[in-house]
Amino acid sequence: YGPGHPMKPHRIRMAHSLILNYGLYKKMEIYRPDLVEDELMTMFHSDDYVHFLQSVTPDNMNDYSRELQRYNMDVDCPVFDGLYKFCQIYTGASIGGARKLMQGNADICINWSGGLHHAKKSEASGFCYINDIVLAILELLNHYARVLYIDIDIHHGDGVEEAFYNTDRVMTASFHKYGEYFPGTGGVKDIGVNKGKKYSINFPLMDGIDDQSYQSIFKPIMAKIMETFQPGAVVLQCGADSLAGDRLGCFNLSLKGHAACVDYMKSFNVPLLILGGGGYTVRNVARCWANETGAVLDQKLSEEIPYNEYYEYYGPDFNLHITPSNMENHNTKKYMEDTKIELFECLSSLPKPSVQIKQMPQYLGGDQKESSVKEPNPDVRISTREADKMVMDEREYYEDDKDQDREAIPMQLS
């Protein structure tokens, strides 16, 4: 994304390194994601938008000035080398996880590189280009009559909600900061339209929500949804920008409070696809997703961070868990209770889903599954130019001298 951009994709490497060094990989099956072809991308995204993402590069972007404006490619969503392949990888992992669930090869699948919930049908938005969540849900709908999407990112999951706003086969539930905050959508009255009316659930929140307050609404709302909607599969977006101390966030959740959502949804024993999302204090993003990988595996991780290639990021204490701040919680008990009651009333009158599996369009059928992805050819040599593109630019690690992630490095390790 660039040296001054808050999105740092190397947070995925950091999370991966922690998961390896905690030994969690030994209790998991690891799959390499396939590269998704444009044919599958266009199951949701428009043909011209996908073609643009394939074609544009930093070298030729001046030739696409009109398209850059049309597709909202700006400072938030910049053009960079390898952009389309980046989208193919994280989207392929989400779709691949959905297929593992459908085939009965796993009960829970995790893709921390996915969860890019803001991307629209023909537009990039909020650091997101391809909406892997929508594509994974479309895949799940080939097998399951109903799919539940849950979003605990601090930002409203607008791209996913919009995609399924008028269907009763997908319910979306988002717990997010609301008001003068990106993307500005997700009011409690936004409940869907037509067949999808009452299938969009939004719990707008204010600054400073803590673990206790969050769980006082999350658990009862999700219990009611599971009782009334009865999904065949659940997709849980675990954006880590709802943690205390996030560079772009204003919530006050601890790792334990965030992971409690994962634990709770796991307890229903419904096929579960867990995805990443936002998170801009990279050391805490890695902490969070490693901890939640442990939660999925019923493994309690040691408080002391194991030595790894990013060890210096976790100083000065080198502990797993973070301490919430003393910021004020602006979510009053009355507001939380009133909003919860309003959502309960909506869910209590929820009609039974009417759509049957056989009514799904033919293009979502299974015949194209094997041809939808492109396996890397092990016999093809990677050029030096391509290999260079895979090397992380050190400038991306830090924004400037005031970057708080840089402040976490007190020493050089030999």
Q: 230-256: per-residue pLDDT in tens?
A: 999 999 999 999 999 999 999 999 999
279 within 8 A of 242, measured Cβ to Cβ: no
pLDDT of residue 352: 66
Q: Which amino acid is present at 398?
A: Y
pLDDT in tens, 84-108: 999 999 999 999 999 999 999 999 9
Is 16 a catalytic site residue?
A: no
- Written as six digits, the tokens of 36 are 């998704």
Q: How confident is the model at residue 114 (pLDDT cuts 50, 70, 90)?
A: very high
Whole-number pLDDT of residue 1: 87
Q: Name 275's bridge partners.
A: 111, 237
Q: What does the pLDDT read at residue 141?
A: 98
**CB burial string 313-322: b at 16+ within 10 A, e below:** bbbeeeebeb
pTM of the model: 0.87
Residue 89 structure tokens = 């990888």
The predicted-structure confidence for 330-385, as pLDDT tens digits, reads as follows 999 999 999 999 999 999 999 765 555 443 433 333 333 443 445 455 555 555 44
Query: What is the C-alpha end-to-end distance of the chain, expressed in Å?
Result: 29
CA–CA distance, 267 with 270 (Å, rounded to integer): 8
- DSSP-based three-state secondary structure for 240: helix
| 340 and 214 Cβ atoms separated by less than 8 Å | no
Looking at every residue in the chain, the average pLDDT score rounds to 89
* Confidence (pLDDT) at 411: 35
Q: Is residue 13 a contact partner of residue 105, using CB atoms and an 8 Å limit?
A: no
Q: Is the pLDDT of residue 207 over 90?
A: yes
Catalytic residue, candidates 16, 45, 117, 118: 118
